[in-house]
Structure 1
Amino acid sequence: MPDRTVGDICRQYLEGVSAEGELEHSLRRRLHAELQQFAGHDQWRSYVALSAACAVKVWPVWRSRFTEDLPFASPRPDATVESPVLSLTEHRSELNSLNTFLDNKMLLGPAYFPAVAAGLACWAVNRDALVGEFSADPELSEMDMDSEDWDPSFFASVAMAGGAVWEESGDSEKRREFWHWYLEDAAPRAYAL
């Protein structure tokens, strides 16, 4: 189809959103690969921009529980989902410190988990920008991989829904809304850059 657009490709993945409101990891990776093939060149920067938009979108979830910024990777004050800029670190040791900082916030209990997931979305953007490649096998689900390999969009969906798809605390309608935003708005904008 010669008049196909990035938006057309993204919208095809809407049918992949499950009854529980989840867009599986393998489908997100397939989407990235298809968009990269469509563009005909490396699209890593677009992926990182999309990931940053996800982190900015759920930043209010962090703010609902914590007033402080993260030591690294917080959205800048003027960041929006349309212009998602995070204060990233270039040092792996600082990124490791941020991971420890967020792990310690988990000790506050389940009521804080969605906010911590929002912080982890920021951390994961920084990780991916620093590493420059995906962490996990494209065919694995989040249940089958280490949580440190989860992508920023998954952490963001957990923050938005209040829990992962396998947790009773998660709201499937909010999760579905997040993935629809991801496919209908955020991914087309990021990959059209």
Structure 2
Amino acid sequence: MEEVCHEYLGSISANGELEHPLRRQLHAELQRALGQDQWRSYVTLSTACAVKAWPVWGSRFTEDLPFASPCPDATPENPALSLTEHRSELNVLNTFLDNKMRLGREYFPAVAAGLACWAVNRDVLAGGFLAESELGEMDMDSEDWDPSFFASVAIAGGAVWEEFGNSEVRRQFWHWYLEDAVPRAYSI
């Protein structure tokens, strides 16, 4: 598994991005190599990404999300979110985050951290990958972005196509993802 992940390190672009089609390919390759459904591993990985981005939320907001916040003792190594089982509550969370987005550009990274948590809950309720396409995030509806992408936006301070994101911080996130988070999640 570590060997497969290591191969993807070279796929991180010059601006620090591990693009969506490559992440989907990585998950498919790991699932084939491990010979069984890896949905649980994907959820664990997504949760780790959301928990890693959570401090960005705390840098701007003092309250937790109404649903899907990290559990009090959660860490990227031991990730856990307080998920809702009700789509209506997930819709409430989406509206809550949309309202936070209206506060201004300086809040966008923090909102992206909240959206990473929301996206984990969305995927769990859907019971599968929402974005099966091979499109990159720029060509997808933002509500279809995966939790790891939202986490990278939060941590880097912006999306790869925005001038205010930090490419080196983004690259470090994807290195952590490939070298630590993916192997840990897929070894469960």
Q: Using structure 2 for the length normalisation, give the TM-score.
A: 0.99
Q: How does 1:96-115 map to 2 (within 5 A)?
A: 96-115=91-110
How far does residue 148 in structure 1 lie from its aligned partner after superposition?
A: 0.2
How far does residue 11 in structure 1 lie from its aligned partner after superposition?
A: 1.1
How far does residue 133 in structure 1 lie from its aligned partner after superposition?
A: 1.3
Q: State the match for 2:65 in structure 1.
A: 70
**After TM superposition, where is structure 1 displaced by more than 6 Å over at least 4 residues in a row?**
none
User: How many residues are paired up?
Assistant: 188
How far does residue 132 in structure 1 lie from its aligned partner after superposition?
A: 1.3
Q: Root-mean-square deviation (CA), in Å?
A: 0.6
How far does residue 8 in structure 1 lie from its aligned partner after superposition?
A: 1.1
Q: State the match for 2:119 in structure 1.
A: 124
The one of 143, 147, 157 equivalent to 1:148 is 143
Letter paired with 2:110: A
Local SS of the residue matching 2:155: helix
Q: Does 1:87 align with 2:95?
A: no
Q: State the match for 1:182 in structure 2.
A: 177
**Residue identity (%):** 77
Partner deviation per Cα, 1:88-124 (whole Å, 9 max, x = no partner)? 0010000011001000000100000000000000000
Partner deviation per Cα, 1:43-73 (whole Å, 9 max, x = no partner)? 0010000000000001000000001110000
Unmatched segments (≥5 aa) in structure 2: none
Local SS of the residue matching 1:16: coil
Find the aligned partners of 1:65 and 1:116 in 2 and give their Cα distance. Answer: 9
Unmatched segments (≥5 aa) in structure 1: 1-5
How far does residue 190 in structure 1 lie from its aligned partner after superposition?
A: 0.1
Find the aligned partners of 2:31 and 2:164 in 1 and give their Cα distance. Answer: 35
Partner deviation per Cα, 1:111-162 (whole Å, 9 max, x = no partner)? 0000000000000000111111112233101011100000000000000100
The one of 146, 158, 161 equivalent to 1:163 is 158
Find the aligned partners of 1:69 and 1:144 in 2 and give their Cα distance. Answer: 31
Find the aligned partners of 1:54 and 1:24 in 2 and give their Cα distance. Answer: 15
Find the aligned partners of 1:120 and 1:21 in 2 and give their Cα distance. Answer: 21
